[in-house]
Structure 1
């Protein structure tokens, strides 16, 4: 169950973003050659597409925009696109996808030799003291040498992290999100574990938003400069703050993970602008545009 809180904005705050009902007006200006789209909380909730999301993508494609899925998902890019297809999205509308899982795979391959989750000979150990690093790509289980996963509560995983921190074992995070939207509820993600690990004094390598690397890879994929792109996301800390760091303009979807904080109870409900402004200030994030959902 999502909790709600009240945010009191400062009367001296000046609105720095444009409030939109949908993306039509922005898309028709052809201001941006590339659109970097978060998936969870923007295009779908993990179970089904959001109302209007597929139609909006199709109309955006007609405008000639290049679209790239950028996600903190720990899945490889190919698996992500397959999931999108299974949810009813047309993969041909996208230039491709950049995910934290894909970046992690590339990082492990180049930085540590032939070790990664798929096809690169990763050896999972049962004894923490034998580990060279921690790979965080979930929050509900611990990997076993057999390849299976042992279900484990979050607090028990955190106890293991305490031991890892004392051994100064570095962590690679294949999904930096703190929480994600899953069928209108919030689910704890690996970024929460990573934050705990840093608090314990552990070294963490963040492989996704709000780091610039995922936006830089998306720009390479689309063949554009920062001034030619806009990033659409529902997380002020990850999507919007990351876009700020990369010099990319951004559109904040208010009916995503911050819905409860903004007092929103239904999809497409318009948020109070002063509340959005106060919440953005809290996260030190600067969206260029704010809209209720990814709709036309």
Structure 2
């Protein structure tokens, strides 16, 4: 019997433990595969063992593959990154990132919530990783809450300057700015809802941390990515499939798996990503105890259909 993708938080959770994706691929049960990148395909610096060949084999089995990522970068930048790491981007139907969705919604303004936003924003961005360009959006970057209509959070390392440069800033200082913004009750758009991400075996703080802080301060946040349904709906539209025809693969219970639950699609949880330490895993491909995974899924109220150590065949 196939595991259900809809759960209530107080019932026993069932998931199937797999060594790789071969069984799922060979049954051709899923027409479309929505793949997270960091923690599943690569660690930001290099591909995970087997990931490149697994994608090629999956493609030969007729799967439509879409990368869905909470990256604050545009889709084209993600494609360039994937190619530079040795992946064949032609295997994917496309890439949908939180950054791409944010850019499109801010540019089109055909959504009522975005149409009501002003044009002046406080921009939280990256410095070491390279600031995010706001070109083509018609926005006016300001430095004070008094002058801002909204906050745009792309990164956690710097404050965007009206000149287009980025002023490096500690996370605590960005949080102090949020306190001033909360008093003015201006909304936030978060272009990367992740709390942390895996990068070369370390965890890096992501903009979702700022967004969660802002909500605690009473601020309104528009989450432009997983776990919100918005990114899954975009992926289904791109692949031309219904919820029953797709599966999401990710390493974050809060973002990837909970998002799949909310979108009504099945999911595969990669245990060797951001939850590896919580699960007591120390090496690539190490198998997690099912009971430990079950405890963790209950903790995050996110329930996968399948679990596997890594994205391998």
Residue correspondence of structure 1 range 229-248 to structure 2 within 5 A: 229-248=246-265
Question: Is it true that 1:270 corresponds to 2:287 in the alignment?
Answer: yes
- Runs (4 or more) in structure 1 with deviation over 2 Å come to 12-15, 111-116
Cα distance, 1:13 vs structure 2 = 7.8
Match of 1:64 among 62, 65, 71: 62
Question: Is it true that 1:93 corresponds to 2:91 in the alignment?
Answer: yes
**Corresponding residue for residue 45 of structure 2:** 47
Residue correspondence of structure 1 range 192-231 to structure 2 within 5 A: 192-231=209-248
Question: Do the aligned residues in 1 keep the contact of 2:227 with 2:259 (CA within 8 Å)?
Answer: yes
Cα distance, 1:220 vs structure 2 = 0.4
**Corresponding residue for residue 194 of structure 2:** 177
Residue correspondence of structure 1 range 1-296 to structure 2 within 5 A: 14=12, 16-109=14-107, 110=109, 111-112=114-115, 117-296=134-313
Higher relative contact order (Cα pairs below 8 Å, separated by 6+ residues): 1
Q: Secondary structure at the match of 1:95?
A: strand
**Corresponding residue for residue 8 of structure 1:** none
Cα distance, 1:118 vs structure 2 = 2.6
d(CA) in 1 for partners of 2:222 and 2:283? 36
Q: Which residues of structure 2 form unaligned runs of 5+?
A: 1-9, 120-132
Q: Secondary structure at the match of 2:141?
A: coil
Could you report, residue by residue, the CA deviation over 1:79-114 in whole angstroms, capped at 9, with x for unpaired residues?
A: 111111111111110000111011111221213489
Cα distance, 1:122 vs structure 2 = 1.9
Could you report, residue by residue, the CA deviation over 1:150-173 in whole angstroms, capped at 9, with x for unpaired residues?
A: 111111110110001001111000
Question: Do the aligned residues in 2 keep the contact of 1:235 with 1:256 (CA within 8 Å)?
Answer: yes
Q: Secondary structure at the match of 1:35?
A: strand
**Corresponding residue for residue 130 of structure 2:** none
Question: Do the aligned residues in 2 keep the contact of 1:77 with 1:101 (CA within 8 Å)?
Answer: yes
Q: CA distance change for structure 1 residues 132 and 285 in 2, over 3 Å: closer, same or farther? A: same
Question: Do the aligned residues in 2 keep the contact of 1:236 with 1:283 (CA within 8 Å)?
Answer: yes
Question: Do the aligned residues in 2 keep the contact of 1:136 with 1:174 (CA within 8 Å)?
Answer: yes
d(CA) in 2 for partners of 1:169 and 1:14? 41
Q: Which residues of structure 1 form unaligned runs of 5+?
A: 1-11
Question: Do the aligned residues in 2 keep the contact of 1:177 with 1:238 (CA within 8 Å)?
Answer: yes
Tell me the TM-score normalized by structure 2. Answer: 0.89
d(CA) in 2 for partners of 1:15 and 1:271? 16
**Corresponding residue for residue 5 of structure 1:** none
Tell me the TM-score normalized by structure 1. Answer: 0.94
Question: Do the aligned residues in 1 keep the contact of 2:13 with 2:303 (CA within 8 Å)?
Answer: no
Could you report, residue by residue, the CA deviation over 1:16-46 in whole angstroms, capped at 9, with x for unpaired residues?
A: 0000000011110100000000000000111
